[in-house]
Structure 1
Amino acid sequence: MTEFSDLDGASDAAGAPAPATDEALLARIAARDRDAFAELFRRYAGRVKGFLIRSGFPAAEADEAAQEVMLSVWRRADSFDPARAGAATWIYAVARNRRVDMLRRRRPEPDPEDPLFRPDPDPAGEATLAAADRDRAVRAALVELTADQAQVVRLAFYDGLSHSEIAAMLDTPLGTVKSRLRLAMTRLRGALGPGFAAELRDG
């Protein structure tokens, strides 16, 4: 990863750049402004690396992947639409996609000769019906949440993100994320019972 290896000092010679929002920087990056990319790189490369480390990747691997994420940001900046998402949300979405790719590469290919490599037996009819009922109940409960509440629940339970990671991804105060999650948990507990958290993780 050498394409942007010199960017940390790209704007030092000209003095500190005027403060700019992340969205403004992305607009300039879409026009291939290297100084704007250098500033965004300084703001997010370390945060993306930390996100990947917390996802279980070693520091060296996370560092290389963070640089690849930022390179994707450089290449795809013209696809950013501030009307659809904040800059932080968009950048972390790129990072999440990269994390998924890394996790997929870690999984070994199944060995067709392995005696365990066979389909699971079909569940009994009653178990199938119970699982279907549970799935319907979970989905119905999630629909009853507000959009903001459902979003943080999915990020926390389905994607396994911490509260701070969700706050960074959504560009939302940590206290707001915790409040939305707390309200959502109260509503889901009432609809699904005390064991609902396990059902969400299985969903």
Structure 2
Amino acid sequence: MTDRTSLAGSSPADIGKYIVAIASAQDMVAFEALFREFGPRIRAYLLKLTRDSQAAEDLMQETMLAIWRKAGQFDPMRGQASAWIFTIARNIWIDAWRKQKRPAFDPDDPALVPAAEPEAPDIMDLKQSGAALHAALLTLPQEQVDLIRLSFFDEASHSTIAARTGLPIGTVKSRIRLAFGRLRTALEEFK
């Protein structure tokens, strides 16, 4: 493929031969012919997608470089060369679009800033509340403590608790409600 030829009017098999020549011998003449034939077509295709002539030109150049680098991956038995070329162009456009749509990393984003350490008075309140809850739990019968532990600390659903304890689901719900009533009363006594 060392003669200066044009691909105009070439069959799909001929175009595939140019890509194979690029892959096997890094044939610049074949690449130039491919570039002359497909460069404008790829640019027009990308212009429809981007609606930006400079972006279409840049993406076309990137596509042609990808064709040069990936020519060894082309398999004429799997499809037409033009479909392979335009698939590369489409994938490059998708990658560029994704990069453009991805927000830039902002280190000052409040979602990324760790929560402030609690103040000393808040830590004391938390410890006192925890101690009061622990003392209130000691006033409950063990069966009710077990139900509260399963429901709120283990985050088990009422149906799971019923299956584990062998109790009807209605009984589980009423015993948890009763345990909360007793806990509320016990906590008010500790205040």
| Length-normalised TM-score, structure 2 | 0.48
Q: Which has the larger radius of gyration?
A: 2
Larger helix proportion of the pair: 2
